[in-house]
Amino acid sequence: MLVSGGLDSAILVGEAVRVYPCVRPIYIRTGSAWESIERDHLTRFLAALDSPRLHPLLELDQPTGDIYGSHWSVTGANVPTHDSADDAVFLPGRNVLLLTKAMIWCHLNEVPEIALAPLSTNPFPDATVQFFDDFEAVINRAIGGRVSILRPYTGILKRDVMRRGRGMPLEYTFSCIAPVLGRHCGRCNKCAERIRAFEDADMPDPTHYATSE
């Protein structure tokens, strides 16, 4: 299961351990500016789930610095702010990069399914139903495999995904692209999305934002 430490993928892990006898979270290290902080939050979230069905986190390297160059996701400079459009946070080929290595690992280790948590409201070209269906077929053809890409939140609204996470340790999730001293900045595009998510779901937001202190 691909996890990033964000709300959607964390909730998916929390739901999966209630259903599957074995869940292996996979984190892809791409070299993003916020990666170490995101990874620390994810570790705490998984530990807080405290499920015997949850296997240790698997980390794979897929660095993007050589192709993204001076992009804000690598440098941490001039990140999209809270009032920026959704397409401002588009990372070209992100799902291609994340899924390629994860699917190959699953094939080599006889894991039949890889799950991730895109929503139908995701506006990016590598998050469509057509993309995932085509990509699954191409990779399986290339490796002679049968790994399925599961997307259980397709067609589900963000607020409904959030409500599925009630009772989970969501305070350990991480959504920020411009963290301040290890905390959510409260000013970036992703923090704004996080704040709206809790509000729309009518759930208390346990996040400590740097702007509120």
Q: What's the CA gap between 213 and 209, in Å, rounded?
A: 7
Map tokens 């704040």 to a residue.
195
**And the tokens for 207?**
């996040």
In terms of C-beta density within 10 A (0-12 exposed, 13-18 middle, 19 or more buried), how is residue 54 classed?
buried
Q: What is the mean pLDDT of residues 83-97?
A: 92
Please check the confidence at residue 196 and state whether its pLDDT lies above 60.
Answer: yes
Q: What is the pLDDT of residue 123?
A: 83
How far CA 110 is from CA of 62, 74, 100, 103, in Å, comes to 21, 33, 15, 10
Phi, psi of 177 (to 5 degrees): -110, 5
The per-residue pLDDT for 120 is 80
- Amino acid (one-letter) located at 135: F
Q: How wide is the angle at C-alpha 149 spanned by C-alphas 41 and 111, nearest 5°?
A: 80
Say yes or no to pLDDT of 213 above 60: no
Three-state DSSP class for residue 131:
helix
Give the type of residue at 80.
Answer: P
Position 134: which residue type?
A: D
Average pLDDT, the chain: 95
**pLDDT for res 56:** 97
Query: What three-state secondary structure class fits 93?
Result: coil
Task: Indicate whether 176 pLDDT > 70.
Answer: yes
Superfamily (CATH) of domain 7-175:
HUPs (3.40.50.620)
CA distance 63 to 110: 25
Q: Which SS3 state, helix, strand or coil, does residue 123 take? A: coil
Average pLDDT of the segment spanning 71-84: 95
Q: pLDDT digits over 124-175, tens only?
A: 899 999 999 999 999 999 999 999 999 999 989 999 999 999 999 999 999 9
CA-to-CA dists, residue 15 to 10, 11, 12, 70, 164, angstroms: 9, 6, 5, 37, 8
pLDDT at 212 > cutoff 70: no
Average pLDDT over residues 82-106: 94
Domain definitions of the chain by residue range? 7-175
Per-residue pLDDT reduced to its tens digit, 111-123: 999 999 999 888 8
